[in-house]
């Protein structure tokens, strides 16, 4: 689920858009709640794992841009 959140964020999704996706997919919050809120997503992305995945995704994106790959 964290990878899905990071992927959506990397593609430019707003926190509320990510919440809508997770809620529509019926994914429970880390605390077992039924509804995602932007604050949940924000906290998830601020975890060590979330930051590492975001940094890795940004690095890969920058490498692709330098190599001439666009879109996706």
Domain residue ranges in the chain? 2-67
Assess whether pLDDT exceeds 80 at residue 68.
no
pLDDT of residue 67: 75
Could you report the per-residue pLDDT of 6-63, keeping only the tens digit for each?
999 999 999 999 999 999 999 999 899 999 999 999 999 999 999 999 999 888 877 7
Q: Model-level pTM?
A: 0.79
What is the C-alpha separation between 30 and 13, in angstroms, rounded? 20
What is the C-alpha separation between 70 and 4, in angstroms, rounded? 21
């Amino acid at each position: 689920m964290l990878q899905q959140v990071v992927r959506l964020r990397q593609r430019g999704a707003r926190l509320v858009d990510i919440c809508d996706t997770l809620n529509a997919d019926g994914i429970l919050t880390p605390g077992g709640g039924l509804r995602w809120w932007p604050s949940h997503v924000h906290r998830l992305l601020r975890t060590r794992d979330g930051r590492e995945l975001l940094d890795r995704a940004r690095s890969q994106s920058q490498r692709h841009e330098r190599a001439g790959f666009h879109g996706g």
